[in-house]
Amino acid sequence: GQSLEQPSEVTAVEGAIVQINCTYQTSGFYGLSWYQQHDGGAPTFLSYNALDGLEETGRFSSFLSRSDSYGYLLLQELQMKDSASYFCAVGNQAGTALIFGKGTTLSVSS
Amino acid sequence: DAEITQSPRHKITETGRQVTLACHQTWNHNNMFWYRQDLGHGLRLIHYSYGVQDTNKGEVSDGYSVSRSNTEDLPLTLESAASSQTSVYFCASSATTGGTNTEAFFGQGTRLTVV
């Protein structure tokens, strides 16, 4: 089966940098995805890493180390609107159904 | 624009009743999924489908069923609603890319309360 561990809460101030870690266990690895969900909203896709290394998309970056079964989401120049829950996810045995971690709630204060 | 829509957005039902939640997508995606979200548990996979006539059980499938008669729709049925099934339900879809993860698009969710 699959399991993912991520911190339940992270707090930071505007303009800061925050890193949300995710460790996973899976029988077959098809990449690590990250999703953002604002209160009352639907999860939305942020990034996907299939290979080791850093992927950068604007203020957000995602890193993967397959040998360590570890990844992280890096959020830079934090803004109040970044306050949300962030989920890491891996594919199930067939690779196409996402299994999610329990989520990390990020609170950004001024 | 392509979209994925869920109905109803809110529903209150009684214990023991059969309930069906609708999910309709216009992305023409082969893959469709149902998740439930509860505080402290994140998103848990209920059922999923890779195409017409294909359905598969997820992590928490007991008490739920799905059917896929066309590409656009994957209705979720609670055979006999229980209070433990009070939750927010999300439907999602994604394109098939040969077995690798792709971006999943989520509906706005259905808040179901079983009393």
What confidence tens digit (pLDDT) does each residue in B1-40 have?
889 999 999 999 999 999 999 999 999 999 999 999 998 8
Chain-centroid distance of CA A61 in Å reads: 10
Q: Is B99 on the interface with A (CB under 8 A)?
A: yes
Residue pLDDT, tens place only, A48-93 = 998 999 999 899 999 999 999 999 999 999 999 999 999 999 987 7
Q: Spell out a b/e string for A90-108, using b for 16 or more CB atoms within 10 Å of the CB, else e.
A: bbbeebbbbbbbbbbebeb
Q: Do A98 and B109 touch (CB under 8 A)?
A: no
By CB atoms closer than 10 A (0-12, 13-18, 19+), residue B9 is: exposed
Contact A57, A44 (CB under 8 A): no
Contact predicate A76/A106, CB 8 Å: no
A38, A98, A99, A104, best to mutate vs chain B, most B CBs in 10 Å: A98
Report whether pLDDT(B101) > 80: no
CA pair distance A108, A15, nearest whole angstrom: 9
* Residues of chain B found within 8 Å of residue A102, distances taken between Cβ atoms: 40-42
Q: Which residue in B59, B90, B100 is closest to A50 by CB distance?
A: B100
